[in-house]
């Protein structure tokens, strides 16, 4: 009803993509899980554009992100990926992160205000981190399978210049930091993990905090 040719084409492509996994598998015996999966797939068929494609100006809310999580979970993991929390971070300059100890996916608001179309890709990338913490070979294989970015993304314009620069007076190594270091010694010169006053870092440069 009232769909443009372009939208119809996009829908066909999207449906093909969403159902590809199920098409390849032989039909499973009907269980409560296949019922749920069928229900989700029916939902996908009716609202795929809303679920995946978002308008340029508006970011999805957290409920929508959870819905996208469910769609990807059923599409690529048969719904077996454990449920995690999802939240937006207003401070983060990277696209996303996964905190395993809190079972939490963080989505960078600033990044996606510039690249709203990438939010699905970011979510898929962070979902893979639930299974594979590091960007190792297993991670890369999964990223290829589900069609997600291999690398954590960050936009250069979002990277802040360091507020403080510390230097080791022994080896000359510099440590740019956003936060003030209190009791820190050079990681290269200090033996062991303990603070060593002989290699205490010296503040070289300090930028005044600006508010905007």
Using only C-alpha atoms, the chain has a radius of gyration, in whole angstroms, of 23
Decide: 96 and 105 in contact? Cβ < 8 Å. Answer: yes
List the structure tokens of 103: 């079972």
Which residue, 28 or 188, has its beta carbon nearer to Zn ion? 188
Question: What minimum distance in Å lies between the beta carbon of 99 and Zn ion?
Answer: 12
Which residue, 28 or 141, has its beta carbon nearer to Zn ion? 141
Residues pairing with 91 in the sheet: none
Instruction: Give me the residue label for tokens 């040719």.
Output: 5
Query: What is the CA 158 to chain-centroid distance, rounded?
Result: 16
List the structure tokens of 31: 């269980």
Q: Beta 104-108 vs 85-89: how paired, if at all?
A: parallel
Which residue, 151 or 205, has its beta carbon nearer to Zn ion? 151
Question: What minimum distance in Å lies between the beta carbon of 9 and Zn ion?
Answer: 32
Question: What minimum distance in Å lies between the beta carbon of 177 and Zn ion?
Answer: 15
Question: What minimum distance in Å lies between the beta carbon of 152 and Zn ion?
Answer: 4
DSSP label of 3: -
Residue from 67, 61, 57, 64 nearest 88 by CA = 61
Instruction: Give me the residue label for tokens 């996208």.
Output: 68
Q: Enumerate binding residues for Zn ion (CB under 5 A).
A: 152, 168, 170-171, 173, 186, 188-189
Question: What minimum distance in Å lies between the beta carbon of 170 and Zn ion?
Answer: 5
């Amino acid at each position: 009803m009232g769909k443009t040719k372009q939208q119809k084409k996009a829908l066909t492509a999207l449906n093909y993509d969403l159902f590809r996994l199920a098409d390849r598998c032989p039909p499973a015996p009907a269980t409560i899980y296949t019922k749920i999966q069928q229900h989700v797939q029916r939902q996908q068929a009716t609202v795929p554009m809303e679920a995946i494609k978002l308008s340029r100006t508006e970011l999805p809310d957290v409920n929508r992100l959870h819905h996208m999580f469910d769609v990807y979970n059923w599409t690529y993991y048969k719904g077996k990926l454990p449920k995690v929390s999802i939240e937006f971070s207003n401070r983060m300059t990277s696209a996303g992160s996964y905190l395993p100890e809190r079972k939490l996916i963080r989505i960078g608001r600033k990044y996606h205000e510039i690249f709203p179309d990438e939010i699905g890709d970011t979510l898929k990338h962070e979902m893979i981190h639930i299974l594979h913490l590091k960007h190792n070979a297993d991670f890369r294989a999964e990223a290829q399978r589900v069609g997600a970015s291999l690398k954590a993304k960050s936009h250069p314009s979002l990277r802040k210049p360091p507020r403080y620069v510390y230097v080791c007076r022994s080896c000359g190594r510099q440590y740019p930091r956003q936060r003030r270091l209190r009791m820190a010694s050079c990681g290269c010169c200090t033996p062991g993990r303990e603070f060593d006053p002989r290699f205490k870092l010296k503040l070289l440069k300090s930028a005044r905090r600006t508010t905007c």
